[in-house]
Chains A and B, each alone.
Chain A
Amino acid sequence: MNDKKNDVLLHDYNHDGVNRRGFLKCMAWAGTGAFCVMKGGVLNSYSLSRVSEIGAKEVAGELSFVQISDSHMGFNKAANPDVAATLQVAVDKINALSAAPEFILHTGDISHLSKPEEFDSVEQILKGAHPQDVFYVPGEHDVLNDDGKQFLERYGKGSNGAGWYSFDKKGVHFIGLVNVLNLKAGGLGTLGAAQLEWLEKDVKHLKHSTPIVVFAHIPLWSVYPEWGWGTEDSAQALSYMKKFGSVTVLNGHIHQTLQKVEGNVTFHTACSTAFPQPAPGKANSPGPMKVPAEQLKSVLGITDVNYVQGQHALAVVDSNLT
């Protein structure tokens, strides 16, 4: 991938090869079995189970797509007074990729307050992106006041229930799930019985060798339940994936990059294009993290995912906006 210079350590105060942002990116790896490596001044994130497979080929795969998340169009507070500009920077980064990705996944919180003009702004900005195909799942900010009716009207064509769907690209099966509706007091994200039933049927007919990519807004693993960063019935959903050799779960919501590997499943969360949030438990609340303006773009980003057909390995390379 091009232009990773911002991953170069500029200030290594502890002389341990990890700067603060690098630490935020890496901290979840440390305890859960993943490996961060600086190579040629580039911080790449690879799960431990993939370390042996890392190679230049994976960066130039046969299928590549981009994940963006948490645009929060309409947010205008100190943490980022211009979320349209930072989304535009993300689009510019996508357009600068040496080989155009197949499509874009947006893992929710497109808007900040579910206002029609907020969705319109995001669509307008993404019209300038190559590729044009964008697949969405809703975040909780996209379904305010109307239980997701507007989201479904805008993005739910051909989807099931509250907007869940699946599609196939070059042998990879993609599944978009909705876990931001009907949230219960004191609880976490929820998929619900109807969606779980659909999911079980959706993957039943697939060959065990089919690589699966599941994407949803709220993490489908317990990142930090105290802050609601998890999904109540995700274990049930993931139980349907046991037979598959390669399952990758992509989420947003927490506005930072974390990775975890559990058996055949690799979990990733993406940065926000709008504003960063604190690492789990590192603040009183998960509210927007205010960083100096000149640092903001370094904590926002896009995630490029490359899939190499036949190897069933996904390499996730995180890129930030500067």
Chain B
Amino acid sequence: MRRRVFAAALAVVAVSSISIFALGSGRFAVLAQEKSSTSEVKIDNFSFSPATLTVPAGTTVTWTNRDDIPHTVVSTDDPRVFKSKVLDTDEKFSFTFSKPGTYPYFCSIHPKMTGKVIVQ
């Protein structure tokens, strides 16, 4: 849980251009939890969780591969909005969604794995 708050705090800091010194402050940690506590997507058991993630514009979403098998996070749009390198176990990929919209994506190695990020 601490890890999630920390990651979320990072996202908010990135968005609001607040100095990095704000990190670790209890106030910002709480704010972060309220605003973008679901900015993480876990890759587990060959699926993205949550499969649909809704976030405010400006949120940085981080995918973490918890599987024993490598996966990728690749935008389905043409042209592609984002494309990760291959993520081995416990590796992460982050992307900051600045514009509102729906961003479908999939694992290009296991294309049955799909998800989307809705940016409001």
**A residues within 8 Å of B by Cβ?**
75, 77-79, 112-114, 140-141, 144-145, 183-188, 225-228, 284-288
Q: Are A141 and B111 in touch, CB under 8 angstroms?
A: no
- Measured in the bound complex, the distance between the Cα atoms of B76 and A226 in whole Å is 19
Choose one: B46, B88, B111; the contact of A185 (CB below 8 Å): B111
- Measured in the bound complex, the distance between the Cα atoms of B89 and A288 in whole Å is 13
- Measured in the bound complex, the distance between the Cα atoms of B45 and A140 in whole Å is 18
A185-B106, A285-B47, A287-B45 known; A112-B70 Cβ under 8 A: yes
Grouping DSSP codes into helix (H, G, I), strand (E, B) and loop, the A interface class, with mixed when no group exceeds half, is loop
Q: Are B109 and A287 in touch, CB under 8 angstroms?
A: no
Q: Are B86 and A183 in touch, CB under 8 angstroms?
A: no
**B residues within 8 Å of A by Cβ?**
45-47, 67-70, 72, 76, 85-86, 88-89, 104-106, 108-112, 114
Most buried by B among A188, A226, A228: A228
Q: Are A185 and B110 in touch, CB under 8 angstroms?
A: no
A141-B109, A228-B111 known; A287-B76 Cβ under 8 A: no
Q: Considering only CB atoms, which chain A residue lies closest to B77 in the complex?
A: A185
- Measured in the bound complex, the distance between the Cα atoms of B104 and A225 in whole Å is 21
- Measured in the bound complex, the distance between the Cα atoms of B112 and A184 in whole Å is 9
**B114 CB contacts on chain A under 8 angstroms:** 185-186
**B104 CB contacts on chain A under 8 angstroms:** 185
Q: Considering only CB atoms, which chain B residue lies closest to A284 in the complex?
A: B45
* 28 A-B pairs with C-beta separation under 8 A: A75-B68, A77-B68, A77-B89, A78-B68, A79-B68, A113-B88, A114-B86, A144-B70, A144-B86, A144-B109, A183-B109, A184-B111, A185-B105, A185-B106, A185-B111, A185-B114, A188-B112, A227-B46, A227-B112, A228-B112, A284-B45, A285-B47, A285-B67, A286-B46, A287-B46, A287-B68, A287-B69, A288-B68
